[in-house]
């Protein structure tokens, strides 16, 4: 619960900061305040769609675990766990259902790419060439804090480009009718956005507080990346198996595996350290 909350919090901080900065930039350019607000919201509409379904599903996970932790009393109206569980359910429906927000996030991204606002073609073509090259087995070790996690984020982005690029190339205008594939891609994007936001936040904390003071933040980050990279692989696999077959599928699955590798890490011990801190503080405290 703490790991997923930390990642969600990091993503919300990041998106809200970008929206706030964009609003100030537009006001400085002479835009009216209301126009600046709308312009900033439009600029980061994709991130907002992602965070709507990420946030409501993290909430669902936490209230469900909360009931489980309380046992039978969690099901009783005598405690607040049951009410929180019941009340959380509506969030996946209103303000645009989570399914709609998944479809919207990918649709907006592809429209911006086709409109030339975002260059996805060049990176996608580079990924195709890279797939045919010899894999990078690593060289000099990067000693920067969370360097392995940043590398995982970079590679996961390549996995998205590979899957999304192949889907567009293969299905073209039919892709809009393949909602399952679009939602697989949206889930990949959501995981990578959360991963990157979490890593960037923790790196900033390390820079300001030092490694000793942020050891648990590093645990939270590494556990989340370890979990998320596996989910990226799973969503990618589901998408690829929906439209590719034979040698084409085999090559892309190999590429997906290549782009979702992450160094081994004892998540069990890290989770215990995180849980001990939560119990000690009696609250989420990161």
- Crossing angle, helix 45-70 and helix 2-28, to 10 degrees? 150
CB atoms within 10 A of CB 130: 16
Residue 75 phi/psi, 5° resolution?
-90, -10
Q: How far is CA 45 from CA 33, 94, 119, 121, in A?
A: 18, 17, 18, 21
Residue 40 token pair: 């900033």
Question: Helix-strand-coil percent breakdown of the chain, rounded to 5?
Answer: 80, 0, 20
* Known active-site residue 95: yes
Catalytic residue among 95, 99, 130, 178: 95
142 φψ region: left (φ > 0), alpha (ψ -120 to 50), beta (else): beta
Q: Quick one: DSSP state of residue 94? A: S
Residue 256 token pair: 């997906």
Query: Strand, helix or coil at 45?
Result: helix
User: Rounded CA gap, 59 and 281, in Å?
Assistant: 21
Query: Strand, helix or coil at 262?
Result: coil
Q: Quick one: DSSP state of residue 133? A: S
Q: Which residues are catalytic?
A: 95
């Amino acid at each position: 619960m703490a790991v997923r909350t930390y990642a969600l919090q990091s993503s919300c901080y990041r998106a809200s900061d970008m929206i706030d900065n964009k609003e100030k930039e537009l006001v400085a350019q002479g835009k009216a305040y209301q126009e600046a607000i709308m312009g900033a919201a439009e600029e980061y509409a994709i991130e907002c769609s992602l965070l709507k379904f990420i946030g409501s599903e993290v909430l669902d996970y936490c209230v469900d675990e909360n009931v489980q932790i309380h046992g039978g009393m969690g099901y009783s109206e005598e405690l607040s766990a049951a009410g929180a569980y019941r009340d959380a359910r509506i969030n996946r429906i209103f303000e645009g259902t989570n399914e709609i927000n998944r479809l919207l996030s990918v649709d907006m991204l592809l429209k911006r790419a086709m409109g030339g606002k975002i260059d996805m073609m060049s990176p996608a073509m580079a990924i195709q060439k890279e797939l045919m090259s010899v894999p990078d087995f690593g060289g000099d070790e990067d000693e920067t804090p969370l360097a392995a996690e940043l590398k995982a984020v970079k590679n996961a982005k390549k996995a998205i480009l590979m899957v999304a690029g192949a889907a567009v190339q293969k299905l073209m205008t039919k892709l809009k009718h393949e909602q399952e594939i679009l939602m697989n891609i949206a889930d990949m994007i959501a995981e990578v956005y959360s991963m990157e936001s979490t890593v960037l936040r923790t790196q900033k904390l390390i820079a300001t507080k030092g490694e000793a003071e942020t050891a648990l933040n590093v645990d939270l980050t590494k556990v989340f990346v370890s979990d998320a990279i596996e989910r990226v692989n799973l969503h990618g696999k589901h998408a690829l198996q929906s439209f590719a077959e034979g040698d084409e599928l085999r090559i892309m699955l190999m590429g997906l595996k290549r782009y979702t590798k992450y160094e081994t890490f004892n998540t069990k011990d890290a989770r215990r350290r995180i849980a001990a801190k939560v119990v000690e503080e009696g609250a989420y405290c990161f």
